[in-house]
Amino acid sequence: MKKIFNVIFYYLQLILFVGAFCLTFFIMLQMNRRLEKSFFTTIDVFVPFIILFILLIINILANQKTVKKNLFYNITSFLIFGTISIVALRAIFDHYLIMGTLNSYQIDFNYFANFIPFLKIMIYGLSLANFLFMFHLKEKKKQ
Shortest Cβ 115–another protein spacing (Å): 8
Interatomic CA distance for residues 51 and 136, integer angstroms: 21
Round to whole Å and give the CA distance between 72 and 27: 30
What DSSP element (H or E) covers 58? helix 43-61
* E-only strand ranges, 1-143: none
d(CA 102, CA 105): 9
- The reply on whether position 100 binds another protein by CB under 8 A is yes
Q: How far is the CB of 131 from another protein (least distance, A)?
A: 8
Angstrom distance (rounded) from CA 61 to CA 47? 21
CA distances from 128 to 51, 62, 81, 97, 100 (A): 10, 17, 16, 34, 34
Binding of residue 118 to another protein (CB under 8 A):
yes
Q: Which of 63, 98, 117, 142 binds another protein (CB under 8 A)?
A: 98
x-marked contacts with another protein along 62-81 as a string, rule CB under 8 A? ----------xx-xx--xx-
Indicate whether 87 belongs to the interface with another protein (CB under 8 A): yes
Q: Of residues 14, 83, 116, 120, which one binds another protein by CB under 8 A? A: 83
| Smallest distance, another protein to C-beta of residue 38, A | 26
Q: What does the binding site for another protein look like in residue numbers (CB under 8 A)?
A: 72-73, 75-76, 79-80, 82-83, 86-87, 90, 94-102, 108, 110-111, 114-115, 118, 121-122, 125-126, 128-130, 132-133, 135-137
